[in-house]
Chain A
Amino acid sequence: MAGIMAAGPSEVPASIATFPGVTERYFTRWYKPDVKGNHCEDHCILQHSNRICVITIADAHPLLQKGKPIKSISYQISANCSRLQNKVSGKSKRGAQFLTELAPLCRILCSDGEEYTIYSCIRGKLIEVNENILDNPSLLQEKPSTEGYIAVVLPKFEESKKVTQGLLTREEYEECLSKRFNSTSLYNTKNENLAEI
């Protein structure tokens, strides 16, 4: 994104004309559509070349599509488990909560009463959750793939390649989105037909 607008004067090196942003420079995007079978609740995982994963919400997620106001975000995922309680120490991140693919990270309540749960999608240690979105939930919608991230997860060293195996690449995800769009139109058409009868 940076580069497209960088048609500056001669002092700016020509090489930056196609300079990718921070996320694109260091991270690979992986997608998980319809998480837990919930239609369109897609997650996007940013994996750094050092195996660190940042869990974010994908653009197609209803939270970003319908532009509905967020009422509250809670990392309290059950009566006795809060992701805010997560503490890690040392280089090896001892004491981290261990997450499986379907471990819930947080619940997001919208002002229309609908609630969405965000899941880890990645097996690994929970390193940190984004506390900034608690005070400022709009970050989540304004900058979903940078400052509005949900959590940071560190896969086991030996699983760092394996953890993304069930996820879609960017191309696969786009294909998935276009299929979804087509089937949704088909579904709508059918409905309309039904209504006519």
Chain B
Amino acid sequence: MVALAEKDRPVAQMLLNSGTCPRCIFRFCGVGLQTSYRQPHKDLLHELHEFLESNERESKLSCEMANPPCKKMKLENANGIKDQTPNGSHQLTNVHSDGSDTVAIENLNPVVCNICLGILQDLCEMDFVKAVCHKINSSEYQFSSFVFSVSFPPQLSVREHAAWLLVKEEMGKQGLSIGKDDFVQLKEAYKWIIHPLFLEELGVPADGKSLFEVSVVFAHPETDEDCCFLASVCPSCFKPAKNKQSVFTRMAVVKALDMIDEEEFHKNYPSPPSLPKTPCSAVDIQCNNGAIFVAGRYNKYSRTLPQTPWIIDGERKMESSVEELILEHLMAAFKADSFNFSSSGREDVDVRTLGNGRPFAVELVNPRRVQLAAVEMKELQQRINSSSDKVQVRDLQLVSREAIVHMKEGEEEKTKTYSALIWTEKVIQNEDITFLDSMKELKLDQKTPLRVLHRRPLAVRIRVIHSMQSEYIDEHHFRLHLKTQAGTYVKEFVHGDFGRTKPNIGFLLGTTADILELDVESVDVDWPPALDD
């Protein structure tokens, strides 16, 4: 037995007698050597026993020789815990003082630690790790490292506190003082033991910065009431909140334990903590991959396709959408839980987006796959493009979260070019419209269009038409190519929106004008980067 020092004997014996597991004993004796914790629980128990037995033999010896009160004290101890530990570890001392063999230890195995509630017993050993890994492996996650997070029931903090008071008292008897930092945290010890086992089983290392998280939630309903007394002693720590299932969160319990004085604690909580009948159970095991981002540019060739699903009062107004036509394939490829679609501006349902298309980006939440080779991305893009002629995608690529801002920056600053088919009430000749070509940097006062006024604030916005080029068609029609500042409402610039956009095409031509068709010809944002074909 290398882990424990001579000075630890009394504490170790005392904890063992009360039903504490070897690893918790190591923690409370401040054993900082990680490998000490990694032996199987049974071996540790055996070794601990041998260690204490040797001590006992010595003390027995000394007792028999000249120190009867010492033995008497021991007996008292044994009797004292007899009531609360019917199958408890006090038998251990008896069995071994009888010189019995390891079979007896096997029998003792079901004893659940009164401090960790089994967390540092079976719940950190290979069988448990295998069960968690089975869950991980059956869910198709792609990962190259992992971060393991655990949530312990809050009453563990109460038991930890009780044990600390007990150990402090015992050390005090030896004239030793000890602080809370001198112990090894349950979480620390747990990770020391379980990380190498995961490495062995999964073949990838634990990494605190990994985007792949495995989280396990432990619960122990049998001892949930451990925390209850804290609410009456420190009511200020337990304020109900809407989003909390119980007021006894780990944080609140730790805070209350910081505030409560020793005497008050002892009055309300048994020391040592009672022996549980059952160990904790893992009530929830979840895997989560960090979000990944896919960007590209899309063309929309339909005048009956909205950008995002158009649903009003639960009723679908239009079949499909740009978003759905693209995401159907992305979701299938990356097997994500959900997504967030965003783009550099948006076009109306009846507007086409031609040219190089409109930049878009998708956040894929909790994807099973996180890496796709360039050739696979190309195949994915082809799948999108061959399944609909309404939407075509180019430059499809994985991007970083940070890169998305380029798209949103462009949304505000960059220019857009459009092509509009315009009707005039008055008969026009080519020479009636050519003056538009010489108008540069035309400033508009644009009131929030009536069609969006229900959901946007009323304001007059100044927007600039940088340039225009007219293309005469017939006496009532012409095509107008416009280069505009981002955020210009082009339809309203043509028909005037009840005179609310000034000037407008009707006003400039001295007639009533209307827009029959509109196409976006370019969104001048140079992101995401173009890819070679």
Q: A2-B516, A9-B474, A146-B496 are in contact. List 11 more A-B contacts (CB 8 A).
A: A8-B473, A11-B473, A13-B421, A19-B516, A22-B514, A52-B454, A88-B457, A88-B458, A91-B457, A132-B499, A152-B453
Classify the interface of chain A: helix, strand, loop or mixed: loop
What separation, in Å, do the CA atoms of A27 and B447 have in the docked complex? 18
Residues of B within 8 A of A (CB): 421, 423, 425, 447, 450-458, 473-477, 495-499, 512, 514, 516-517
Please indicate the chain B residues that have their CB under 8 angstroms from the CB of A21 in the complex.
514
Interface residues as binary, A64-100 with B (CB distance below 8 Å gives 1, 0 otherwise):
0000000000000000000000001111010000000
B499 to A9, Cβ gap below 8 A? no
A19/B423 in contact, CB under 8 A: yes
A187 is an interface residue with CB less than 8 A from chain B? no
Give the residues in chain B near A128, CB-CB below 8 Å. Answer: 447, 458
Interface pair B499/A89, CB less than 8 Å apart? no
Q: Does A127 interact with chain B (Cβ within 8 Å)?
A: yes
Chain A nearest Cβ from B509, distance in angstroms? 14
12 contacts between A and B (CB under 8 A): A6-B423, A6-B477, A11-B473, A12-B421, A12-B473, A22-B497, A22-B514, A48-B451, A50-B452, A50-B455, A143-B512, A152-B453
**A2-B423, A2-B514, A152-B450 given as contacts; is B474 within 8 A of A91 (CB)?**
no
Are B498 and A147 within 8 A (Cβ)? yes
Report if A8-B450 is in contact (Cβ < 8 Å); known contacts: A2-B514, A89-B457, A91-B455. no
Chain B residues positioned under 8 Å from A16 (CB to CB): 421, 423, 516-517
User: B498 is contacted by which of A2, A9, A11, A149 (Cβ under 8 Å)?
Assistant: A149
Kindly name the residue among B425, B455, B457 whose own CB sees the greatest number of chain A CB atoms within 10 A.
Answer: B457
Evaluate whether A6 and B476 lie within 8 angstroms (CB atoms) in the complex, with A91-B455, A93-B458 already known.
yes
| Candidate in A2, A6, A89 with the most chain B CB atoms within 10 angstroms | A2
Q: A6-B423, A91-B457 are in contact. Are A130 and B514 (CB under 8 A)?
A: no
- Whether A12 pairs with B477 at a CB distance below 8 angstroms is yes
Indicate whether A105 reaches chain B with its CB closer than 8 angstroms: no
Please, which residues of chain A bring their CB within 8 A of the CB of B425? 1-2, 5
Answer whether residue A168 sits at the interface, using C-beta atoms and an 8 A cutoff: no
Contact between B454 and A8, CB atoms less than 8 A apart = no
In the complex, chain B residues whose CB is within 8 Å of the CB of A181: none
A1-34 to B contact mask, C-beta < 8 Å, 1/0: 1100110110111001001011000100000000
Least distance between A169 CB and chain B CB atoms (Å): 21
Once the chains are docked, how many angstroms separate the CA of A91 from the CA of B450?
Answer: 13
User: From residue B38, how far is it (CB to closest CB) to chain A in Å?
Assistant: 60
Q: CB of A154 within 8 A of chain B?
A: yes
Q: Is A54 an interface residue (CB 8 A)?
A: yes
Q: Is the CB of B498 within 8 A of A90?
A: no
A13 to B477, CA, bound (A): 11
Chain A residue numbers with a CB within 8 Å of B495 are 22
Nearest CB on A from B402, distance (A) = 30
Q: Shortest Cβ distance from A23 into chain B, in angstroms?
A: 9
8 Å CB contact of B474 from A12, A19, A89, A130: A12
Query: Given the complex, which residues of B lie within 8 Å of A1, measured CB to CB?
Result: 425
Give the tally of cross-chain contacts (CB within 8 A): 86
Most chain A CB within 10 A, of B447, B450, B476, B496, is at B450
Q: How far is the CA of A143 from the CA of B507 in the complex (A)?
A: 13
On whether the beta carbons of A52 and B423 are closer than 8 Å, the reply is no
| A48 and B499 alpha carbons, distance in the complex (Å) | 16
| Closest CB in chain B relative to A185 CB, distance in Å | 34
Q: How far is the CA of A5 from the CA of B512 in the complex (A)?
A: 13
- How many angstroms between the C-alpha atoms of A180 and B415 in the bound complex? 55
A51 within 8 A of B: yes
* A130 to B474 CA separation, bound complex (whole angstroms): 34
A87 to chain B, nearest CB (A): 9
Q: Does A139 interact with chain B (Cβ within 8 Å)?
A: yes
Q: Once bound together, how far apart are the Cα atoms of A96 and B532, in whole Å?
A: 55
Please report which residues of chain A, range 94-137, place their CB below 8 angstroms from some CB of chain B when the two chains form the complex.
127-128, 130, 132
Please judge, given known A-B contacts A13-B517, A89-B457, A139-B499, whether A5 and B474 are in contact too, CB under 8 Å: no
- Which residues in A have their C-beta under 8 angstroms from that of B423? 2, 6, 16, 19
With a cutoff of 8 Å between Cβ atoms, the chain B residues found around residue A11 in the complex are 473-474, 477
A6-B423, A6-B477, A12-B473 given; A154·B454 CB < 8 A: yes
B8, chain A: closest CB distance, angstroms: 67
Contacts of B456 in A (CB 8 A): 91
**In the complex, A22 Cα to B492 Cα: how many Å?**
10
CB <8 Å contact, B477 and A8: yes
How many angstroms between the C-alpha atoms of A91 and B459 in the bound complex?
10
Residue of A nearest to B479 (CB): A11
**Given the complex of chains A and B, what is the CA–CA distance between A19 and B517 in angstroms?**
11
A48 touches B450 (CB 8 A): yes
In the assembled complex, the CB of A49 is this many whole angstroms from the nearest CB of chain B, namely 9
A90 and B450: CB pair below 8 A? no
Q: Which of B421, B477, B499, B516 contacts A130 (CB 8 A)?
A: B499
Report the minimum CB–CB distance from A159 to chain B (whole Å): 13
* Residue ID in chain B nearest A8 by CB atoms: B474
Residues of A within 8 A of B457 (CB): 88-91, 93
CA distance A128 to B457 in the complex (A): 12
A48 to chain B: closest residue by CB: B450
Compute how far the CA of A79 lies from the CA of B423 in the bound complex, rounded to whole angstroms. Answer: 45
Judge whether B496 and A147 touch: CB under 8 Å. Answer: yes
Q: Which residues on the A side are within 8 Å of B454 (C-beta)?
A: 48, 50-52, 154
Chain A residues near B477 (CB, 8 Å)? 6, 8, 11-12
Alpha-carbon separation in the docked complex, A54 to B477 (Å) = 28
* Distance in angstroms between the alpha carbons of A19 and B350 in the assembled complex: 14
Give Cα distance in the complex from A26 to B495, angstroms.
13
Compute how far the CA of A11 lies from the CA of B476 in the bound complex, rounded to whole angstroms.
12
Within the complex, the shortest CB–CB distance from A32 to chain B, in Å, comes to 20
Q: Are B498 and A146 neighbours in the complex by a CB distance under 8 Å?
A: yes
Question: B500 to chain A: closest CB distance in Å?
Answer: 9
Verify A50–B451 contact, CB threshold 8 A: yes
Interfacial chain A residues near B516, Cβ < 8 Å: 2, 12-13, 16, 19
